[in-house]
Amino acid sequence: MFEDRVDAGRQLAAKLKGLDEWHDAVVLGIPRGGVVVAAEVAAYLDLPLDIVMAAKVGAPGNPEYAVGAVTADGEVLVNPAAGFSATEVRALAAPALTKVKHSLDLFRGGREGPEIEDRQAIIVDDGIATGLTAEAAVEYLRRCGASQVVLAVPVAPKSAIAGLRAMADVLVTVETPEWFSAVGQFYRTFGQTTDEEVQRLLTAQRTP
Protein backbone atom coordinates (compact mmCIF):
# COMPACT_ATOMS: atom_id res chain seq x y z
CA MET A 1 0.00 0.00 0.00
CA PHE A 2 1.33 3.44 -0.97
CA GLU A 3 0.52 6.62 0.91
CA ASP A 4 0.18 8.59 -2.33
CA ARG A 5 1.84 8.99 -5.72
CA VAL A 6 4.84 10.77 -4.20
CA ASP A 7 5.50 7.84 -1.86
CA ALA A 8 5.04 5.42 -4.77
CA GLY A 9 7.53 7.39 -6.86
CA ARG A 10 10.16 7.29 -4.15
CA GLN A 11 9.79 3.54 -3.68
CA LEU A 12 9.93 2.98 -7.42
CA ALA A 13 13.01 5.18 -7.77
CA ALA A 14 14.82 3.19 -5.09
CA LYS A 15 14.23 -0.01 -7.10
CA LEU A 16 15.44 1.63 -10.30
CA LYS A 17 18.54 3.02 -8.61
CA GLY A 18 19.93 -0.45 -8.00
CA LEU A 19 19.51 -1.62 -11.60
CA ASP A 20 21.68 0.73 -13.63
CA GLU A 21 23.64 3.97 -13.58
CA TRP A 22 21.12 5.61 -15.97
CA HIS A 23 23.68 8.10 -17.28
CA ASP A 24 21.80 9.26 -20.38
CA ALA A 25 18.26 8.20 -19.61
CA VAL A 26 15.11 10.32 -19.73
CA VAL A 27 12.08 9.78 -17.47
CA LEU A 28 8.72 10.02 -19.25
CA GLY A 29 5.54 10.15 -17.19
CA ILE A 30 2.17 9.16 -18.62
CA PRO A 31 -0.22 12.03 -17.74
CA ARG A 32 -1.74 12.81 -15.57
CA GLY A 33 -1.10 10.73 -12.44
CA GLY A 34 2.00 9.09 -13.84
CA VAL A 35 3.78 12.44 -14.00
CA VAL A 36 3.60 12.82 -10.20
CA VAL A 37 5.30 9.44 -9.80
CA ALA A 38 7.76 10.20 -12.60
CA ALA A 39 8.77 13.52 -11.02
CA GLU A 40 9.95 11.68 -7.91
CA VAL A 41 11.84 9.14 -10.02
CA ALA A 42 13.52 11.88 -12.08
CA ALA A 43 14.53 13.85 -8.97
CA TYR A 44 15.89 10.76 -7.18
CA LEU A 45 17.91 9.60 -10.17
CA ASP A 46 18.87 13.15 -11.25
CA LEU A 47 17.43 12.67 -14.73
CA PRO A 48 15.39 14.92 -17.05
CA LEU A 49 11.61 14.64 -16.84
CA ASP A 50 9.11 14.85 -19.66
CA ILE A 51 5.91 13.13 -20.78
CA VAL A 52 4.84 10.46 -23.23
CA MET A 53 1.24 10.59 -24.41
CA ALA A 54 -0.98 7.65 -25.29
CA ALA A 55 -4.76 7.76 -25.20
CA LYS A 56 -7.31 4.99 -25.39
CA VAL A 57 -9.66 4.79 -28.35
CA GLY A 58 -13.16 4.22 -26.99
CA ALA A 59 -15.75 1.88 -28.44
CA PRO A 60 -18.82 3.40 -30.15
CA GLY A 61 -21.50 3.89 -27.52
CA ASN A 62 -19.13 2.80 -24.75
CA PRO A 63 -16.20 5.25 -24.65
CA GLU A 64 -14.79 3.76 -21.44
CA TYR A 65 -14.08 0.46 -23.20
CA ALA A 66 -10.79 0.68 -25.09
CA VAL A 67 -10.75 -0.82 -28.57
CA GLY A 68 -7.24 0.52 -29.05
CA ALA A 69 -4.78 3.26 -28.16
CA VAL A 70 -3.17 6.06 -30.16
CA THR A 71 0.12 7.95 -29.74
CA ALA A 72 1.34 11.38 -30.82
CA ASP A 73 2.62 10.19 -34.20
CA GLY A 74 -0.86 8.92 -35.10
CA GLU A 75 -0.01 5.23 -34.87
CA VAL A 76 -2.83 3.09 -33.51
CA LEU A 77 -2.50 -0.03 -31.36
CA VAL A 78 -5.50 -2.35 -31.67
CA ASN A 79 -6.94 -4.21 -28.70
CA PRO A 80 -7.32 -7.73 -30.15
CA ALA A 81 -9.89 -8.67 -27.52
CA ALA A 82 -12.27 -5.91 -28.64
CA GLY A 83 -13.23 -7.48 -31.96
CA PHE A 84 -12.61 -4.39 -34.09
CA SER A 85 -10.42 -4.39 -37.19
CA ALA A 86 -7.39 -2.12 -37.53
CA THR A 87 -9.26 -0.07 -40.13
CA GLU A 88 -12.21 0.41 -37.79
CA VAL A 89 -10.00 1.42 -34.85
CA ARG A 90 -8.07 3.91 -36.98
CA ALA A 91 -11.37 5.47 -38.04
CA LEU A 92 -12.41 5.81 -34.40
CA ALA A 93 -9.05 7.22 -33.27
CA ALA A 94 -9.38 10.82 -34.52
CA PRO A 95 -10.83 12.32 -31.30
CA ALA A 96 -8.23 10.54 -29.16
CA LEU A 97 -5.39 11.76 -31.39
CA THR A 98 -6.68 15.32 -31.14
CA LYS A 99 -6.72 14.95 -27.36
CA VAL A 100 -3.13 13.64 -27.36
CA LYS A 101 -1.83 16.55 -29.44
CA HIS A 102 -3.75 19.10 -27.37
CA SER A 103 -2.37 17.65 -24.14
CA LEU A 104 1.20 17.66 -25.44
CA ASP A 105 0.93 21.32 -26.35
CA LEU A 106 -0.74 22.16 -23.03
CA PHE A 107 1.79 20.36 -20.86
CA ARG A 108 4.92 21.29 -22.79
CA GLY A 109 3.87 24.87 -23.47
CA GLY A 110 4.94 24.65 -27.09
CA ARG A 111 8.37 23.16 -26.36
CA GLU A 112 9.77 20.32 -28.39
CA GLY A 113 10.01 16.99 -26.61
CA PRO A 114 13.38 15.56 -25.56
CA GLU A 115 15.66 13.74 -27.97
CA ILE A 116 14.96 10.03 -27.57
CA GLU A 117 17.16 8.42 -30.21
CA ASP A 118 19.94 6.23 -28.74
CA ARG A 119 18.85 7.00 -25.15
CA GLN A 120 17.28 4.90 -22.42
CA ALA A 121 13.63 5.85 -22.01
CA ILE A 122 11.99 5.15 -18.63
CA ILE A 123 8.19 5.17 -18.93
CA VAL A 124 6.48 5.78 -15.59
CA ASP A 125 2.80 5.52 -14.67
CA ASP A 126 1.03 5.32 -11.30
CA GLY A 127 -0.02 1.74 -12.05
CA ILE A 128 -1.13 -0.59 -14.80
CA ALA A 129 -4.40 -2.44 -15.15
CA THR A 130 -4.72 -3.65 -18.75
CA GLY A 131 -1.45 -2.25 -20.13
CA LEU A 132 -2.86 -1.09 -23.47
CA THR A 133 -1.78 2.56 -23.24
CA ALA A 134 1.57 1.53 -21.75
CA GLU A 135 2.16 -0.82 -24.68
CA ALA A 136 1.32 1.98 -27.12
CA ALA A 137 3.81 4.25 -25.33
CA VAL A 138 6.52 1.56 -25.46
CA GLU A 139 6.02 1.05 -29.19
CA TYR A 140 6.06 4.81 -29.78
CA LEU A 141 9.41 5.20 -28.03
CA ARG A 142 10.86 2.32 -30.04
CA ARG A 143 9.81 4.18 -33.20
CA CYS A 144 11.60 7.24 -31.78
CA GLY A 145 14.82 5.20 -31.66
CA ALA A 146 15.24 4.63 -27.92
CA SER A 147 18.17 2.33 -27.20
CA GLN A 148 16.26 0.72 -24.33
CA VAL A 149 12.66 1.10 -23.14
CA VAL A 150 12.05 0.60 -19.42
CA LEU A 151 8.51 0.33 -18.07
CA ALA A 152 8.43 1.31 -14.39
CA VAL A 153 5.24 1.29 -12.31
CA PRO A 154 4.51 1.04 -8.59
CA VAL A 155 1.84 -1.63 -9.04
CA ALA A 156 0.60 -4.05 -11.68
CA PRO A 157 -1.45 -7.26 -11.41
CA LYS A 158 0.58 -10.44 -11.15
CA SER A 159 -1.46 -11.93 -13.98
CA ALA A 160 -0.19 -9.20 -16.34
CA ILE A 161 3.52 -9.41 -15.50
CA ALA A 162 4.51 -11.89 -18.22
CA GLY A 163 2.87 -9.77 -20.89
CA LEU A 164 4.41 -6.56 -19.56
CA ARG A 165 7.87 -8.15 -19.49
CA ALA A 166 7.48 -9.17 -23.12
CA MET A 167 6.43 -5.64 -23.99
CA ALA A 168 9.40 -3.63 -22.65
CA ASP A 169 13.14 -4.27 -22.48
CA VAL A 170 13.01 -3.94 -18.70
CA LEU A 171 10.03 -4.05 -16.33
CA VAL A 172 10.30 -2.60 -12.82
CA THR A 173 7.49 -2.87 -10.27
CA VAL A 174 7.18 -2.45 -6.51
CA GLU A 175 3.99 -4.46 -5.94
CA THR A 176 2.52 -7.28 -8.04
CA PRO A 177 -0.64 -8.37 -6.18
CA GLU A 178 -2.56 -11.52 -6.95
CA TRP A 179 -5.91 -9.81 -6.40
CA PHE A 180 -6.29 -6.65 -8.45
CA SER A 181 -9.40 -4.62 -9.11
CA ALA A 182 -8.11 -1.09 -9.77
CA VAL A 183 -4.88 0.87 -9.39
CA GLY A 184 -6.41 3.19 -6.79
CA GLN A 185 -7.01 0.39 -4.28
CA PHE A 186 -3.26 0.30 -3.57
CA TYR A 187 -3.07 3.98 -2.58
CA ARG A 188 -4.35 5.54 0.64
CA THR A 189 -4.65 8.85 -1.24
CA PHE A 190 -5.41 8.64 -4.96
CA GLY A 191 -7.02 11.91 -5.94
CA GLN A 192 -7.35 13.31 -9.44
CA THR A 193 -4.18 14.93 -10.75
CA THR A 194 -4.92 18.24 -12.47
CA ASP A 195 -3.47 19.69 -15.66
CA GLU A 196 -2.03 22.51 -13.58
CA GLU A 197 -0.14 20.08 -11.35
CA VAL A 198 1.38 18.35 -14.37
CA GLN A 199 2.45 21.72 -15.79
CA ARG A 200 3.93 22.76 -12.43
CA LEU A 201 5.97 19.56 -12.09
CA LEU A 202 7.35 19.81 -15.62
CA THR A 203 8.19 23.50 -15.21
CA ALA A 204 9.84 22.96 -11.82
CA GLN A 205 12.04 20.18 -13.23
CA ARG A 206 13.24 22.45 -16.04
CA THR A 207 14.07 25.30 -13.65
CA PRO A 208 17.59 25.14 -12.15
Q: What is the pLDDT of residues 107-144, one digit of tens each?
A: 998 888 899 999 999 999 999 988 899 999 999 999 99
Q: Sign (positive/negative) of CA torsion 80, 81, 87, 91?
A: negative
CA–CA distance, 47 with 81 (Å, rounded to integer):
37
Domain count, the chain: 1
Residue 144: which CATH number? 3.40.50.2020
Q: What is the pLDDT of residues 49-67, one digit of tens each?
A: 999 999 999 999 998 899 9
Asked if the structure places residue 127 within a domain, the reply is: yes
Asked if the structure places residue 35 within a domain, the reply is: yes
Q: What is the pLDDT of residues 85-107, one digit of tens each?
A: 999 999 999 999 999 999 999 99
Asked if the structure places residue 105 within a domain, the reply is: no
pTM assigned to the model: 0.93
Asked if the structure places residue 71 within a domain, the reply is: no
- Look up residue 48 and give its DSSP letter: -
Asked if the structure places residue 161 within a domain, the reply is: yes
Asked if the structure places residue 170 within a domain, the reply is: yes
Could you list the residue range(s) of the whole structural domain that residue 39 is in?
Answer: 5-53+114-203
Across the range 30-52, mean pLDDT stands at: 96
Asked if the structure places residue 122 within a domain, the reply is: yes
Asked if the structure places residue 138 within a domain, the reply is: yes
Residue 81 buriedness (CB in 10 A; 0-12 / 13-18 / 19+): exposed
**Spatial CA neighbour of 24 closest among 181, 146, 205, 112:** 146
